[in-house]
Amino acid sequence: MTSQTPSRTPSQTMQARFAGLADDFPDFSYGAPANDAAGLRLSVSIFADRGHVRDEMGEDAASAGFRLADTGRLHAVLDGAAKPLGDVVLIDCPMVDGATMAALARLDMRAAHVGAELIVSTSVEALDDVFAALDQSQPQILVTPSRAERIIALGHVLVRLPQRRVRELSEEDRLVLLRLTQQVTQIAERIDRLSEGAPPPQPVTAVVAPAFRFEAAADDGSDRLVRTGRPALPDPRLVRKIIRQRQVRARHFDGELFADPAWDMLLDLTAARAEHTRVSVTSLCIASGVPPTTALRWIGQLTDAGLFKRVEDETDRRRAFITLTDKAAEAMARYFAEVDLVAARMG
């Protein structure tokens, strides 16, 4: 008789893969994150109204080695007697109403106050409301995530959270955590066979052309510093034309060949600034040309780089928008001015 190996559930497979990391990370074992070596034990709080999602979140967090601190329905965060938050807080919020917005805002403030990492799952329809409610804790927002994407988000926590601790991590500890995050991402992608979306964005550095130039003085031959004029933003019709051309190209070639969400979002916000219009986070995600969760990671990176900024709606505190910073707007203006100059020389 031929014996058959029992099939594993995704959670069991994930558990086995995490256990296998021990060969690469001697201090790592399933159920005990690598940062236990630094004297840390990460806990997680889970709030979700949908019971099956709450169970999945618990399984995924356990697979990643987190200890369950609290679990319950979303409205539990409104209870003043609620238990202290864990190091990480997982939220499922596919739809929002007034009570949910209040719960999210309260949770956002609590997480920011205690230094907890907030990971919120939502839908495209509720994204703008959820984004507006979370302005304190720098959360990770996932849009209709797969379980693999949730594991990836938990992996990012392993790098981000220890940096907030009183104990300063050594360079060796930091490299171990970075390697572990990469391993978590690779494992999750293989298990769920993720085939769409770009990899998590790399840090972005903004370079703005200086508003000065040197020129030789006619009298004494010395150099002097002369301020140059700041170019105006390009005609928004030109920018929209470029955007449309990029969209047409994606219809004839594999979009991943030319995926450049940062540039697509910069173009969209440049046109909007010239048009004096505001851009919601959902609209910007669509403009990026990548899945919403990936776009949100890029928005976070570009915000950290000083290119994007969040702007609250002065007439409705429940709404927020994304816009270019002055630094980014100047960089885009100078870029288009230089492109025009090169084109004129070639003509």
> Residue 328's pLDDT is what?
96
- Whether residue 261 is predicted with pLDDT greater than 70 in this model: the reply is yes
The reply to whether CATH 3.40.50.2300 applies to domain 10-192 is yes
Q: Can you read off the two tokens belonging to residue 118?
A: 């907030």
> Residue 169's pLDDT is what?
52
Considering the four listed CATH numbers 3.40.640.10, 1.10.10.10, 3.30.450.20, 2.30.40.10, the one that applies to the domain covering 236-346 is 1.10.10.10
> Residue 85's pLDDT is what?
87
Mean local confidence (pLDDT), 260-274: 95
314: which residues sit within 8 A by CB, 6+ positions away? Answer: none
Residue 222: how many CB atoms within 10 A of its CB? 7
- Whether residue 236 is predicted with pLDDT greater than 80 in this model: the reply is yes
Task: Encode pLDDT of 127-141 as tens digits.
Answer: 999 999 999 999 999
- Whether residue 115 is predicted with pLDDT greater than 50 in this model: the reply is yes
Give backbone dihedrals phi and psi of 301, rounded to 5 degrees, phi first.
Answer: -65, -45
By residue count, the chain amounts to 347
Q: Is the pTM of this model over 0.75?
A: no
- Whether residue 301 is predicted with pLDDT greater than 80 in this model: the reply is yes
Rg (CA), the chain: 24
Listed by start position, the domains of the chain span 10-192, 236-346
Percent of the chain scoring above 70 in pLDDT: 66
238: which residues sit within 8 A by CB, 6+ positions away? Answer: 336
Task: Encode pLDDT of 76-102 as tens digits.
Answer: 776 655 578 889 999 999 999 988 888
Is residue 302 within 8 A of residue 340, CB to CB? The reply is: no
Look at 336 and 26; give whichever has higher pLDDT. Answer: 336
